[in-house]
Amino acid sequence: MDSLLDLLRLETPPWQMVLRGTAVYWFLLIVFRFLLRRDVGSLGVADLLFVVLIADASSNAMQGDYKTIGDGLVLISTLIAWNYALDWVIYRSPTVSRLLEPPAEPLVKHGRIMHRTLRRELITTEELMSKLREKGVSDLSEVRIARLEPGGELSVFKYRR
């Protein structure tokens, strides 16, 4: 029974684990949001960040890098709380949403490729054409507008024929 209690006790003060989790979460969110590119059809940045952090925190808690499971549970709880809080604030505040969510970017307008946007998003013409074909577009002249959405999806609006 004592060994079970030893596994569950906290050796690191909870406030320190909350502070560590908070610092890592916000640092990585900023790095992912402002320094890394979006891929067409990829997971959202916040989703990917959350999965990676939870996986790492869980791994440390399970493998014993933390002295106790309790330390890992505090860190995981901190990450879950920040993820929920950020989703809630983004839902409630258009200003925060604009700061943290990348805007939809037009890749094709009126059948013409927006090469400047492709360069900024680091998307090749071949990648774009491949995604357009997946959406049933065989010729660029069919496309009224194609946008790279905040989550990385490609939305395509065709001319009515």
Per-residue pLDDT tens over the stretch 63-105? 556 666 677 777 778 887 887 888 889 889 999 888 877 788 9
Tokens, residue 87: 């989703």
For the chain, what are the domain ranges? 2-100, 105-158
Q: Full-prediction pTM beyond 0.75?
A: no
The Cβ of residue 107 has, within 10 Å, a number of other Cβ atoms equal to: 26
DSSP state of 140: G
The rounded percent of the chain whose pLDDT value lies above 90 is 31
Please check whether residue 71 is in contact with residue 11, taking contact to mean a CB–CB distance below 8 angstroms. Answer: yes
How far is the C-alpha of 158 from the C-alpha of 150, rounded, in Å? 20
Q: Do strands 112-113 and 105-109 pair parallel, antiparallel, or not at all (unpaired)?
A: antiparallel
Residue count of the chain: 161
What is the CB-side half-sphere exposure of residue 78 using CA atoms within 13 A? 22
Q: Do strands 143-148 and 154-158 pair parallel, antiparallel, or not at all (unpaired)?
A: antiparallel
Compare 4 and 35 and report the one with higher pLDDT: 4
Using alpha carbons, list the distances in angstroms from residue 19 to 15, 70, 79, 139, 147: 6, 15, 11, 53, 38
| Closest to 5 measured CA to CA, from 69, 74, 78, 73 | 69
* Domain 105-158 = CATH 3.40.50.460: no
- Residue 40's pLDDT is what? 46
Catalogue the E-assigned strands of 61-113.
Answer: 105-109, 112-113
Question: pLDDT tens digit string along 48-70?
Answer: 777 787 777 766 655 556 666 67
Sign of CA dihedral 38, 147, 158, 129: negative
